[in-house]
Copies of this chain bind each other. A is one copy, B any other.
Amino acid sequence: MHLIQENKCHGGYWRRYQHDSETCGCLMTFSVFVPAAAEEGKCATLFWLSGLTCTDQNFVQKADVESAAAEYGFIVVAPDTSPRNVGLDGEDLSYDFGSGAGFYVDATEAPWRSNYRMYSYVTEELYSLVADNLPMDPERTGVFGHSMGGHGALTIALKQPEKFRSVSAFAPICAPMSCPWGKKALAGYLGTDQENWKAYDSVALIESGAKVKTILVDQGDKDEFLAEQLNPELLKAACAEKDIPLTLNYRSGYDHSYFFIKTFIRDHVQHHHKMLNDVNR
């Protein structure tokens, strides 16, 4: 991995890297916040998954994670949201499919399956790259994200709870099988057989028995995508049925933007800190 930018912030460093990804078959860019605590030992690590249209930079510049990450000693990894410039027909046609919209799935449909493998990219290739090159404690790794990335965080934690031991989300797409964004993406990447979509739907995963210790979700009640796309009540019902503790905070007056995220990011970092340092985990 090749360092392309470095900025000191809150005593640590944001570092931006590029690497040739085997999983995605293209040059991928990601950013990592490395706190000062990393000079003294291995750190707990959070993978942040961003939403539609984002690169790694939206979170880096707008989320204000650094003060809490520095205080609690977290490495924070922010990948891009899709492969880039892979030359597939239609990759740049819409904001909610293709570039900037990888949906954290491994595509099975042509032509996307050759590159659009963001599930494996995040959980395997990028995870290993960070673990091999940065002072990451693999026993204390969590995942969080926003919107499409909230969906990614929930599904990744539900599918690999031993690898990603804490999870939270801001305004996640809770049930992609049940909303327009999700239906378009899952049909495009996975084909029309909806049985195959269940592996990437939080509600379906929970209904089929997947477990995590607890889930934290914050959701603005003025979120412009709440009514049509996000379905937190489906997540709430599934968690209730399967006895998964869910803290679902509706936040009065907040929208879908990073202004909402930055308001509550410290709460999320504290949640992960508590979960990852729980001796009974």
Taking beta carbons and an 8 Å cutoff, which residues of A are in contact with B? Answer: 7-11, 14, 61-62, 64, 66-67, 220, 222, 253-255, 257-260, 262-263
Contacts and interface: CB of A to CB of B under 8 A. Distances in A.
14 contacts: A7-B257, A7-B259, A7-B260, A8-B220, A8-B222, A8-B254, A8-B255, A10-B262, A14-B259, A61-B61, A61-B62, A64-B64, A64-B262, A66-B259
Contacts of A254: 8
Given A8-B222, A9-B259, A66-B263, 18 more contacts: A7-B255, A7-B257, A7-B259, A8-B255, A8-B259, A8-B263, A9-B260, A9-B262, A9-B263, A14-B259, A61-B61, A61-B62, A61-B258, A62-B62, A64-B64, A64-B67, A64-B262, A66-B259
Contacts of A61: 61-62, 258
A262 B258 CA distance: 16
Contacts of A11: 263
Contacts of A255: 7-8
Q: Which of A7, A14, A220, A253 has the most CB of B within 10 A?
A: A7
Contacts of A257: 7
Nearest to A64: B64
Nearest to A255: B7
Nearest to A10: B263
A262 B66 contact: yes
Contacts of A263: 8-11, 66
A275 B262 CA distance: 28
